[in-house]
Amino acid sequence: MKLKEKKIAILGTGANGSCAAADITSAGYDVELFDQWPEHVNCMNLDGLTINLPNETKNIAVRANHLCTLAEMNKKFDYVFLFVKAYDTQWITRLIEPYLASDGILVGVQNAMTAERISNIVGAERTIACVVECSSELFTPGIIQRDTPNEKTWFGIGVEKEVMKARLGEIEEILNAVGNVDIVDDIISAKWMKLIINAMCMGPFASLGSNLYDGFRIPGIKELVMKIGTEALTVGQKHGYKIVPIFGLTEEQIINSNSPIELMLDKLISDIGPNARDAVLHDHIKGRYSEVDEINGLVADLGKIYNIDTPINTEIVNITRNIHSGKLSPSLDNLSFLTKYI
């Protein structure tokens, strides 16, 4: 069976999931979308999926389903791309597992360290891990603001189980419709590298109510986020993660850099565009739980295990939890909690 004849599910059509779904559908694949937001599903089915890019607007007819309709389906999917929040990984993987073909592949296109959670449910022989670089927003049902164009969107894919290496080409071909794709030997370390960058860029700037472009104009903020990244790097190396290139950087560039995490940070900032706002800020605006516990919180938790101080990551977690509880709001006023670390 040809690749474009196989059945693909995009599970979680938030901002990045919708971008991928639109591009993969446009490339001629057999794609079905699943999401929990009824208005978004209804708008996609009625009016198509609108993607506003920096230099163009696309409208793609898609097949969207509410997540609950899975129970009415008598089919198996050859490929499932998981675009949900890290904290939703276990329950939604268990939900989709009966609908994943016995030789199917589940790809976790997510932040944080979710690969093991997925493979524990569907098996390592059906799991491919993924790192993604793409900034987009979803506030109006059916309409996505994509700040990172296709040519600057990047995926790194890899496997835990050697036998799955032979199947990476299938996922590479599909994701090439969305952006650039690299096959990564140490995908788990690559996911930690992305977690480091997320720890530097998401929680801190979201707590200040700022996007990256404006946030980096704040005096001392670059030094602060570099300290956040150094905490995460130190903890990760103690845990066994290696420094590996992500975002399309090369091994040579990493080796020749005096500060690999600063190199990765600068690459991200140059790729995502000046208007990009991170997902944690989106969550604060929408009044939703964020992934900070899965990112900065994981750094702090591992720091406790290895007796490594992570004061700034811990502070970001505390500020974010106070925003979740309503005690604080995303604001530059929260800089007062962080200036002692600058």
Q: How far apart are CA 188 and CA 61, in angstroms?
A: 35
pLDDT score recorded for residue 308: 98
Confidence of residue 323 (pLDDT cuts 50, 70, 90): very high
pLDDT score recorded for residue 282: 95
The SS3 call for residue 132 is: strand
What is the average per-residue pLDDT within 260-277?
92
pLDDT-wise least confident of 35-44, 83-92, 249-258, 268-277: 268-277
Confidence of residue 342 (pLDDT cuts 50, 70, 90): confident
* pLDDT at position 161 over 90: no
What is the average per-residue pLDDT within 172-188?
98
pLDDT exceeding 90 applies to what percent of the chain? 96
pLDDT score recorded for residue 275: 85
Residue linked to tokens 């690559």: 190
Q: How far apart are CA 56 and CA 293, in angstroms?
A: 36
Beta carbons of 207 and 330 less than 8 angstroms apart: yes
pLDDT score recorded for residue 183: 98
pLDDT score recorded for residue 166: 96
What is the average per-residue pLDDT within 243-256?
96
* Domains within the chain, CATH numbers bracketed: 3-184 (3.40.50.720), 190-341 (1.10.1040.10)
pTM: 0.96
In the predicted model, what is the mean pLDDT of the chain? 96
What is the average per-residue pLDDT within 86-101?
98
pLDDT-wise least confident of 78-92, 188-202, 228-242, 268-282: 268-282
* pLDDT at position 288 over 80: yes
Tens digit of pLDDT for each residue in 214-246?
999 999 999 999 999 999 999 999 999 999 999
* pLDDT at position 1 over 80: no
* Residue spans of alpha helices (H) in the chain: 15-26, 38-47, 89-96, 115-122, 168-175, 187-201, 203-207, 212-215, 221-239, 251-255, 260-272, 279-286, 296-305, 311-325
Q: How far apart are CA 20 and CA 17, in angstroms?
A: 5
Confidence of residue 160 (pLDDT cuts 50, 70, 90): confident
Confidence of residue 106 (pLDDT cuts 50, 70, 90): very high
* pLDDT at position 171 over 80: yes
* pLDDT at position 289 over 80: yes
pLDDT score recorded for residue 312: 98
Tens digit of pLDDT for each residue in 108-142?
999 999 999 999 999 999 999 999 999 999 999 99
* Residue spans of alpha helices (H) in 27-85: 38-47
Starting at the edge strand found earlier in the chain, the sheet holding 100-109 runs: 64-66, 30-35, 7-11, 77-82, 100-109, 127-133, 154-158, 180-183
Tens digit of pLDDT for each residue in 196-214?
999 999 999 999 999 999 9
